[in-house]
Structure 1
Amino acid sequence: MSNIITTIPSHIKAWIYPEYGKTQDILKFDPNVPIPLIKDDQALIKVVAAALNPIDYKRASGNFKSFDIPLPAVPGYDVAGVVVKVGSQVKKFKVGDEVYGDINENAIRNVKTIGSLAEYTTAEEKLLAHKPNNLSFIEAASLPLAIITAYQGLERVEFSAEKSILVLGGAGGVGSLVIQIAKNVFGSSKVAATASTAKLELLRELGADLPIDYTKEKFEELPEKFDVVYDAVGESERALKAIKEGGKVVTIVDHGNVSAIRFALTSDGAVLEKLQPYLESGKVKPILDPKSPFPFSQTVEAFSYLETNRAIGKVVIHPIP
């Protein structure tokens, strides 16, 4: 793959938004964006594939404008690509390495002006990991933000083998990985998960012992209660009725409930490295939406699709010019 590296250009193609609003209204293709400069602890990456995340359109809509960088900005957190240049302090990677990661350590503060929806982007060495050999760039791009969120959320509630878990939103980008990590990394005694009728078979394939059709059953009324509920949909109020005495609810969705543990990831290449054996053995698999990948030219359509909340697993953009 390293043969894609030629001369590094001074200007690149990217999707940008010059103002806040709905992605369909504000995202513009710009063929002439200055290439980002790398700092000493960063690598410059030729982007091969990038995944979309809800944080992208929430940021673009101005939800975090009090913390945000000056516009225009290029969206995109998840990247898979090839290192084309490294800063003077970078030890772990060299030119030609295939890498992946979430390029923003914090999702809303100090984000990169040039995100991953561009021909080239930058990331700190500590945020990147070598791409597992058995994964395509498309598969690798789908993972970082979601898999780190899944793993760190379970760590946050001190999850362990003897505990049971209910995953709300088990077919989504984060939920599909929580099921697999709870089962195959932590060795959970019982994994339950919710999805709509058409997605129940996927929950079984991911390793859920108890798939729950949320269109027909209220999970909080089940006789069985759980040690942990991982809420990836924003149902923390109901989730509190589904835990055992002393159980915990962890949520990645903004909520007003103080009893649930609100959690946001810190991007970390070490988590990707820790999970590498599970990815390489196939015990944890990336889940791509059947419509993925969208070509770079259809990035706006890909965002529109993601915003319907009907995607299964991840929406990925590839190839990037």
Structure 2
Amino acid sequence: MKAWIYSEYGGVEVLKLESNVAVPEVKDDQVLIKVAAAALNPVDFKRRLGLIKATDSPLPIVPGHDVAGIVVKVGSQVKELKEGDEVYGDINEKALEKPKQLGSLAEYTVAEEKLLAVKPRNLDFVQAAALPLAIETAYEGLEKAGLSEGKSILVLGGAGGVGSLVIQLAKQVFGASRIAATSSTQKLEFLKSLGADLVIDYTKENFEDLPEKFDVVYDAVGQSDRAVKAVKEGGGVVTIFGPVTPPAIGFVVTSNGEFLKKLNPYLESGKVKAVLDPNGPFPFDKVNEAFSYLETNRATGKVVIFPIP
């Protein structure tokens, strides 16, 4: 099969499109997926740069966490999924602990049944591929921070892949009473369209200097030292990047198909939407260009690879 692969750590130049990669064997608890679309995440390029070398799987590596596709083979212990099912998910249970050698940027990939959910009927493969890692990170972080109905929240990096879903979940699933979010000047209207009540242009003002403080701060950009200054006493702060300043807590998402099943009704009703970068999707032979773009930190929403041959 065709797959993108790298045999050494480094920049986008180490990525190679190979056409004779072995199709993976299916273990008892796994399914084989014909990949229709795959999304890129910052963790994919951080891994390629060697930043998780100590806990990574051995090289060579096919990158990619997020997948949407069709089940073509099932392991002997798979209980619910069957051949022909359209599924989506983050195929690595732990992003930083022995992620799979064979990721989703390939014609076929394997994943444990527990990491997958049936694709919402109203979403195409591109929209579905854009969701798993980001929406699970958004959901798990909001739970850890203790967001609940009637509370206020500040989202740092509201226009990114995770932040754009944090805003939507805070409003539609958790019932937040007030949502503030930061972005650059040109993305402020986009934040409002997602449901933000207060938009903060980080190029013009410091969110931590606002008189208003929040019950929860979700830091999707790696500024926990500033985030803790914007939370009410006794409130919750979560961060998904970089050093963690107490009382903030850092976490790395655990991939879980049950989260996706729980959120499917919100996706199917249209209350929560996948956010796709307008420059995408990128075709399969342009994965290196898609990574170069993602690594500029200028993407709005998710960068998706489609179609995959």
TM-score scaled by length of structure 2: 0.99
1:86 equivalent in alignment to 2:107: no
1:306 equivalent in alignment to 2:294: yes
Instruction: Note the C-alpha offset of 1:110.
Output: 2.6
Q: SS of the residue aligned with 1:32?
A: coil
Letter aligned with residue 173 of structure 2 = V
Match of 1:67 among 45, 55, 58: 55
Aligned to 1:15: 4
Q: SS of the residue aligned with 2:289?
A: helix
Deviates more, 1:90-99 or 1:108-117: 108-117
Aligned to 1:123: 111
1:205 equivalent in alignment to 2:193: yes
Q: SS of the residue aligned with 1:94?
A: coil
Aligned to 1:29: 17
CA distance in 1, matches of 2:96, 2:285: 26
1:42 equivalent in alignment to 2:30: yes
Match of 1:255 among 243, 253, 257: 243
1:176 equivalent in alignment to 2:159: no
Question: 1:248-287 alignment to 2 at 5 Å?
Answer: 248-287=236-275
Q: SS of the residue aligned with 1:66?
A: helix
Question: 1:108-257 alignment to 2 at 5 Å?
Answer: 108-257=96-245
TM-score scaled by length of structure 1: 0.95
Deviations 1:109-133 (A, max 9, x none): 1311110000000000000000000
Contact 2:130 2:304 in 1 (8 A): yes
Contact 2:146 2:216 in 1 (8 A): no
Q: How many residues align?
A: 309
Deviations 1:85-116 (A, max 9, x none): 00000011100000000000000213111100
Contact 2:228 2:246 in 1 (8 A): no
Instruction: Note the C-alpha offset of 1:257.
Output: 2.0
CA distance in 1, matches of 2:220, 2:176: 18
CA distance in 2, matches of 1:217, 1:254: 22
CA distance in 1, matches of 2:244, 2:303: 29
> CA, structure 1 residues 280+256, in 2 after alignment: closer, same or farther (shift >3 Å)?
closer
CA distance in 2, matches of 1:241, 1:207: 24
Q: SS of the residue aligned with 2:229?
A: helix
CA distance in 1, matches of 2:144, 2:98: 23
Name the Cα RMSD after superposition.
Answer: 0.7
CA distance in 2, matches of 1:110, 1:186: 32
CA distance in 2, matches of 1:49, 1:105: 19
What percentage of residue pairs aligned between the two structures are identical?
Answer: 69
Instruction: Note the C-alpha offset of 1:292.
Output: 1.2
Instruction: Note the C-alpha offset of 1:259.
Output: 2.6
Letter aligned with residue 272 of structure 1 = L
Aligned to 1:293: 281
Instruction: Note the C-alpha offset of 1:258.
Output: 3.4
- Give ranges in structure 1 of 5+ residues lacking alignment: 1-11
Q: SS of the residue aligned with 1:96?
A: coil
CA distance in 1, matches of 2:244, 2:116: 33
Q: SS of the residue aligned with 2:55?
A: coil
Instruction: Note the C-alpha offset of 1:159.
Output: 1.2
Aligned to 1:3: none
Q: SS of the residue aligned with 1:227?
A: strand
